[in-house]
Amino acid sequence: MQTKTKLSEKDILALFQNGCKTDCKVGIEYERLPIFSANNKAADYGADNGICNFLRNFAKEENWDYITDDYNIIGLKQEHDTITLEPGCQVELSLKPENTIFDVRNKVNSLDKKLKPVLDKFGIKLLNYGVSPLSTNKSISLIPKRRYKLMAKYLWGILSDVMMRETAGIQCCIDFNSEEDAAEKFCIANKLSPFMTAMFANSPVRGGVDTGYKSFRALSWLNTDNDRCGFVGQIDENCSFEEYINYVLECPMIFINRGSDVIPINGRINFNQFMQNGFKGFDAEIEDFELQANLYFPEVRMRNFLELRNHDCVGNNLQYSILAIYKGILYNRTSIAEIKELFKDFEYRDFFELRYNVPKSALNSKIGSYFVKDIVKEILYIAEKSLIEFDKGEEKFLEPVKELALNGLCPADIIVKNWYGVWNRDIRKLIKFVS
């Protein structure tokens, strides 16, 4: 009988090394908030016109396959694309990375065109907004996915239920061609992240009231679980695959999967201890590390690509502005050098403090003696210059964010102005605006 080889850090390291690519693409993970059109409340999972039956109907109409958990439908897949559900029924499109942002946009538009008649049939709207505008977590049930029940029980932050059940965001996926390239992009993306949060802040009204925050979604992440959220390390260019892996190994574990069973761990050990000693007779497997890495939620997540995570859901083509900024900066050596120069006088603590300030003040936050709204103008200029150099016309995707940011505004500023102005605090008008 062959003895099973013990999982080693070398096995884990190979997951990251195998991510190095020569053909660098851009991808999107696009979450939206589903509400019932009839009452503007969060759409639930099990109702006759709810999200489960919507997925079942769409799968039948468009020939998608089910993704299930304990026989419950929790998403759909077709080739490399998926439609999955976040804990509070948020609908996420995760699409195969493409060579151009035009290709990403065309794929999203094509899929949305197919989704719309089924959504209309069920009386559901998908909102391009960062936090549930009317329903709060106390009235939003978790979908029947076993890991979400364990996560909800384990995550200890005071706003972790808000994060899980109420929020929606957009993530950008970027490739790297070597470990050194990954480390450099990882460092820069982390430093960019609070500026991006500020530019795309889009969640001021929650539960029908103005919260006083431009991004209540970002605030919820600050209060979810400091063991697994935030920056990884000191966000410097010396970060390596091994160093990132060590942070994941030291993070407390929530659970593991064995076949169809979910084994709770609830923070009793970290992954390093699991690799060394096992847990209740179970030994560590490479799939366990992949799960552990997926339950680690830093601003920038390193996988066999980089996942840039901290942006509120936005619409009106702002979602593609996110991709355009990152592509323009991270895929151009000159742009990388210019961003380094822009940030050279700031220290780790400056970025750390900024991360805590932008949820409330967005572009009116300060880093050192500088306003964020002034620095983002330089960031946009660098990204635009790079995209023009690529000569694919992708600089056009910066126009929506330039229209706001060059005037010192983020999406939340427009919403708050309208909320107290022409909308007269009417939640229906906000929902129409973000539909």
Q: According to the model, what pLDDT value does residue 2 have?
A: 47
Look-up of token digits 């007269």: 424
d(CA 434, CA 65): 30
Which DSSP helix (H) or strand (E) runs through 298?
strand 297-298
First to last CA, the chain: 59
Q: According to the model, what pLDDT value does residue 4 have?
A: 62
Write the DSSP assignment of 122-143 as a string of letters: TTEEEE--SB-SS--GGG-PPP
Q: What is the CATH number of domain 24-251+296-434?
A: 3.30.590.20
Rg (alpha carbons) of the chain, rounded to whole number: 21
Determine contact, residues 175/232, Cβ cutoff 8 Å: no
Q: Could you tell me the residue ranges of all domains in the chain?
A: 24-251+296-434
Q: According to the model, what pLDDT value does residue 1 have?
A: 40
Q: What are the pLDDT tens digits along the chain (435 aa)?
A: 444 678 999 999 999 999 999 989 999 999 999 999 999 999 999 999 999 999 999 999 999 999 999 999 999 999 999 999 999 999 999 999 999 999 999 999 999 999 999 999 999 999 999 999 999 999 999 999 999 999 999 999 999 999 999 999 999 999 999 999 999 999 999 999 999 999 999 999 999 999 999 999 999 999 999 999 999 998 888 889 999 999 999 999 999 999 889 999 999 999 999 999 999 999 999 999 999 999 999 999 999 999 999 999 999 999 999 999 999 999 999 999 999 999 999 999 999 999 999 999 999 999 999 999 999 999 999 999 999 999 999 999 999 999 999 999 999 999 999 999 999 999 999 999 999
